[in-house]
Structure formats: C-alpha cells, structure tokens
Amino acid sequence: MTVELSLRGIRAGYGAVEILHGLDIDVPAGALTALLGPNGAGKTTLLSVVAGLLPLRAGEMSWRGRDLGRLSPDARARAGMLLVPERRGIFPALSVRDNLEIFAAGVIDLEPAHSAFPVLAQRLSQQAGSLSGGEQQMLAMSRVLVRRPRLLLLDEISLGLAPRVARLLFDVVGQLAHDGTTVVLVDQYLSDALRLADVVYVLSRGELAFAGEPGELTGKALPGFVGRVRAG
Ligand SMILES: Nc1ncnc2c1ncn2[C@@H]1O[C@H](COP(=O)(O)OP(=O)(O)OP(=O)(O)O)[C@@H](O)[C@H]1O
Ligand SMILES: [Mg+2]
C-alpha cells in the first residue's frame, strides 16, 4: 500500500480551544478512506487543516512525500487537491452552466458531469440556488468530475438527501476511487461510506476511536452511536 497522505500528531483548533488532539492518519493512494464520527467530532476541522483553510498547531502532514505545511491552499488545489465542503461550495446566484464553467476553469470538457447527472444537463440555465438539495449536491460533485483531482476530500455529501440520490452520489465516488482517485470521505456511521471504504477512521472528540478495515467495525459499539455496527 502506497501512502498518499500521512498525518502525524495533528493538533488544531479555534481560538483558545483545541479540537484535534494529536491525530495519526495514513490515507492510502488510489483507495477510499472513510472518516466517520458523531457531530462535533472534528471531521470538518480535519479536512480544513488538510486543505490549508485552518492552520496546523502541531504535527506533520506529508502529501506524496512533500511537506504539506509548506504549500498554500491554492498551491494544494493546483497540485490536485479538491475539497467539496459541507455546504457544497457552489455559487447559488449563478446558473448551473456558469457554475460548471467555473469548476472546469476553461480547460476540460463538461461531458462527464452531464452524463453522470443528466438532470443537471437539462437545467443549465437554472439558478443553482433554486435547485433541489440533491441537485445542488450533484452540481457540487460535478466539480469533481470536470477537475479530476488526485486527492479528493468530501465532507458529508449525503447529508439530508433522499437515499436514492445519496446512492447515486456514492456510486460516482466509488467509481472515482476505482479509477485511481484517492478519496477521503467524511460521513455518518451508517451509510454507504462504510460499504465503499477500503480503510476506516472513526473520530470522537478530536481523537481516534478506531482505525482499520470496515469489516473490523462489525459488532463494535462506537462513541456517539446508539447500537452496534451491523455487517454491511
Ligand atoms: N469556526 C469555529 N469556531 C469555533 N469552534 C468551531 C468552529 N468550527 C467548529 N468548531 C467546533 O469544533 C468542534 C468540531 O467541529 P467540526 O465541524 O469539525 O465537527 P464535525 O465532526 O464536522 O461535525 P458534524 O458531523 O456535525 O459536521 C465542534 O465542537 C465545533 O463546535
Ligand atoms: Mg462537519
């Protein structure tokens, strides 16, 4: 297994409060890593640190052998890192077509997004903010399909969506990982994320409660989660 992203002793927080208390995480290349945990565990905080949106207070981050801490957020993006944030990161006042063109940055063709999400192809002139929640999340995922990142960070893409829409999005993510994209997928415990994952990390109050393969989670009681994880 080649490690794409290596995180060692990661500490970060907001103001006087430390949220991440020294995390060690290895993200394998070309595979899907699920990062699970209850509300407030620090999942979004961790993705923000990796993307360079929040400073690292202690620890080391290495991306394909390079010291990530030395790269600005835009340098990380140019090197192929892409974060789809919790609130989707689309431009609600612009049309679907304008959003897609901004994501594509004038380079790549939009066909992969149109074929993955035909419903969007029929709504190119519609204002993105007036799309349904599921359609907005498809638009956010379209950015991934036109950019083809090397390291993809996805924050709760299925939040609040109908199971059918969530499954469509997860299928796209699974295909990307299958095609060699390194994916870090933040989600709830009980979701398709677990089914797709090669490696799972569970975060609780800024510390790791589990690290291993999804099968090892079966039957375990997890922090902030009622009941035990059932076999997928
Ligand atoms: N900008 C901020 N300023 C201060 N505290 C923050 C800020 N953002 C997050 N926090 C706090 O950091 C902790 C971790 O939040 P974070 O958003 O990383 O959790 P999460 O695991 O993504 O949760 P969720 O599943 O609800 O999205 C929470 O206690 C939260 O209140
Ligand atoms: Mg979050």
Q: What angle do CA 199, 73, 40 make, to 5 degrees?
A: 50
Of 43-57, 158-172, 183-197, 214-228, the one with minimum mean pLDDT is 214-228
Residues sharing a CB contact under 8 Å with residue 187, sequence separation 6 or more, in sequence order:
34, 35, 36, 156, 157, 158, 193
**Ligand 1 atom 24: residue of nearest CA:** 39
Q: Which domain holds residue 117?
A: 89-147
Question: Which of 20, 45, 159 maximizes ligand 1 atoms within 8 Å of its Cβ, making it the mutation to test the pocket?
Answer: 45
Q: Backbone phi, then psi, for 150, in 5-degree steps?
A: -90, -40
Smallest-distance ligand from the CA of 224:
1
Residues 28 and 84: beta-carbon distance below 8 Å = no
Are 129 and 143 in the same domain? yes
Residue whose pair of structure tokens reads 């993006």 in the numeric block: 77
- In order of 45, 54, 113, 151, the CA distances from 191 in angstroms are 21, 27, 24, 21
Report which ligand 1 atom has the smallest distance to the Cα of 42: 18
- CA of residue 44 to ligand 1 center, whole Å: 7
- CA of residue 213 to ligand 2 center, whole Å: 22
pLDDT for the residue 6:
98
Q: What is the DSSP letter of 231?
A: P
Supply the mean pLDDT for the chain.
90
- Looking at the 3D structure of the chain, how many domains does it have? 2
Are 58 and 123 in the same domain? no
**Ligand 1 atom 3: residue of nearest CA:** 14
Q: What are the E-state strand segments in the chain?
A: 3-14, 17-28, 32-36, 58-63, 66-67, 81-84, 151-155, 182-187, 199-204, 207-212
Q: State the CATH number of the domain containing residue 194.
A: 3.40.50.300
Q: Is a pLDDT exceeding 80 seen at residue 221?
A: no
Taking residue 134's Cβ as centre, other Cβ atoms within 10 Å add up to: 19
**Ligand 1 atom 25: residue of nearest CA:** 39
Are 161 and 60 in the same domain? yes
Is this prediction's pTM over 0.75?
yes
Are 163 and 229 in the same domain? yes
- CA of residue 42 to ligand 1 center, whole Å: 6
**Integer Cα distance of 38 and 204 in angstroms:** 7
Q: Backbone phi, then psi, for 119, in 5-degree steps?
A: -60, -30
Are 134 and 229 in the same domain? no
pLDDT band at 135 (very low <50, low <70, confident <90, very high): very high
Strand partners, 5: 27, 63
Are 231 and 171 in the same domain? yes
The three-state secondary structure class of 55 is: coil
- CA of residue 123 to ligand 2 center, whole Å: 29
Are 1 and 106 in the same domain? no
For ligand 1, residues with CB inside 6 Å are 14, 19, 37, 39-45, 86
**Integer Cα distance of 100 and 227 in angstroms:** 42
- CA of residue 39 to ligand 2 center, whole Å: 7
Q: Is a pLDDT exceeding 60 seen at residue 232?
A: no
Of 51-65, 95-109, 204-218, the one with minimum mean pLDDT is 95-109
**Ligand 1 atom 28: residue of nearest CA:** 40
**Integer Cα distance of 95 and 9 in angstroms:** 42
- CA of residue 176 to ligand 1 center, whole Å: 28
Are 114 and 206 in the same domain? no
Report which ligand 1 atom has the smallest distance to the Cα of 45: 18
